[in-house]
Amino acid sequence: MYKLDLPVDRKEAAFLERKRNAELQRQNRIFDCKTRTIGIEKDALDIQINDREIQKETEKTRHELYATQMLQNDKIACLLEDRQANDIRNLNKAIDEFRLRYQNPETRREFDLSDPDALKKSLPARLNDRDPRCTVSGLQKLLGEDLSQEQRKKFQQEQLREWSLQQQSDLEKAQADQKFAEDLYYKNRTKLDERAMELQRMEKESRRAVCLATKDYNIAQVLELAEKKMLEKQQEDEDNKVEISNLLQGDFLSENPEQASSSFGPHRVITDRWKGMRQEQLMEITSIQQQQVLEKMRLKEEELQRDAQWNRERVQAARAMTLLERQQKRVNHELRKAQDHTNLELADAHKARKRYYDKEVYSNAPTAQYFMQFNTTSR
């Protein structure tokens, strides 16, 4: 069997067909300038727009169905409300008829409260003081409203008179007791006042004795203090005389220069005792100042010489720098001339090479058929 007679593999053929179709679709997408520039798939966008329109139509249909169903439900609710109102009206009418027929006021348990003939049918409030209807909670018989009111008032008046006589006798007895108590109080008060005057007199005498003793003590203290002050004054006068003598004979007023010497060293002095420098110290200071003046003049002369030397060196350096710059300019000029000559040679060589390429190498120009072989596949 030859190879041309081999059975075709359907799976392989289907794979090759899918690959061929995918390649054609890819070429259409790549070679389409509009799709390649925008960068999106217009077919997918059209499908999405179509889906969006279908979704809107579906939503609109659903909303319309909901609106129709809501209108139907509202009509049913109105019918039910009207039916319920009619039922309530009929029920209330039946209740009113039942009340008029079977619930008259005379058949009620509380009719006696609003009976117009109740006063004619009722008994008096009480027949006597021991009427069983006169209970405590009924308030039909109050204190002082009994039938034996005259006898009770006479008994009460007699009882009040007895009470008045008894109170009068008790008052007289209380007044007598109070008078006796006041007399006893006045007697005790008089005795206490006499005792207080006696104690006050004894206190005055004791105070007088204490004052005399205090006066004698104070006089003795004054005399002792005066004597003490006199002795202190004498001692102070003697101390002042000794101090004046010491000051007059001391180093401070005699202006002894040794008294200003400090214990921290010979170069230190005590400022509150220093009376000035000696003649030797002044001469030493003058000589040191003259030496400092001479030293300063010498240093100034050296500085002038050093500045003059620096000026000479700076002038020589500037002259050498000027000569070096002139030489550098000459060298740069020679280098620039050599570079210009080299550039001219390179330009001539470039022009010759371009003429060679234009006449010899690039003589065969490509045609349109040459460019048609590109972009034939998507890879």
Q: Are strands 261-262 and 265-269 parallel, antiparallel or unpaired?
A: antiparallel
pLDDT band for position 139 (cuts 50, 70, 90)? low
In a domain, 51, yes or no: yes
pTM of the model: 0.23
Q: What is the predicted pLDDT for the residue at 346? A: 92
pLDDT per position as a tens digit, 70-121 = 999 999 999 999 999 999 999 999 999 888 888 887 777 777 777 787 777 7
Domain end point (choices 99, 123, 145): 99
Query: Do residues 145 and 125 lie in contact, with contact meaning Cβ atoms separated by under 8 Å?
Result: no
Percent of the chain with pLDDT over 90: 22
In a domain, 121, yes or no: no
Number of domains in the chain: 2
Q: What is the CA radius of gyration of the chain?
A: 76
Query: Do residues 30 and 36 lie in contact, with contact meaning Cβ atoms separated by under 8 Å?
Result: yes
Mean pLDDT over the full length of the chain:
82
Q: What is the predicted pLDDT for the residue at 272? A: 66
In a domain, 14, yes or no: yes
DSSP tag of 7: P
Asked if pLDDT for residue 294 goes beyond 90, the answer is: yes
In a domain, 288, yes or no: no
Where do we find the tokens 């039946």?
94
Q: Who contacts 347 (Cβ-Cβ below 8 Å, separation ≥6)?
A: none
Assigned token pair, 313: 């060196």
Query: Do residues 262 and 270 lie in contact, with contact meaning Cβ atoms separated by under 8 Å?
Result: yes
- The count of other CB atoms within 10 Å of the CB of residue 141 is 19
In a domain, 323, yes or no: yes
In a domain, 3, yes or no: no
Where do we find the tokens 């001469």?
283
In a domain, 111, yes or no: no
Q: How far apart are CA 251 and CA 268, in angstroms?
A: 18
pLDDT per position as a tens digit, 262-288 = 667 666 766 666 666 667 777 888 999
| Three-class DSSP category at 261 | strand
In a domain, 172, yes or no: no
Phi, psi angle pair for 190, to nearest 5°: -65, -40
Range of the domain at 350: 301-359
Where do we find the tokens 């998507």?
378
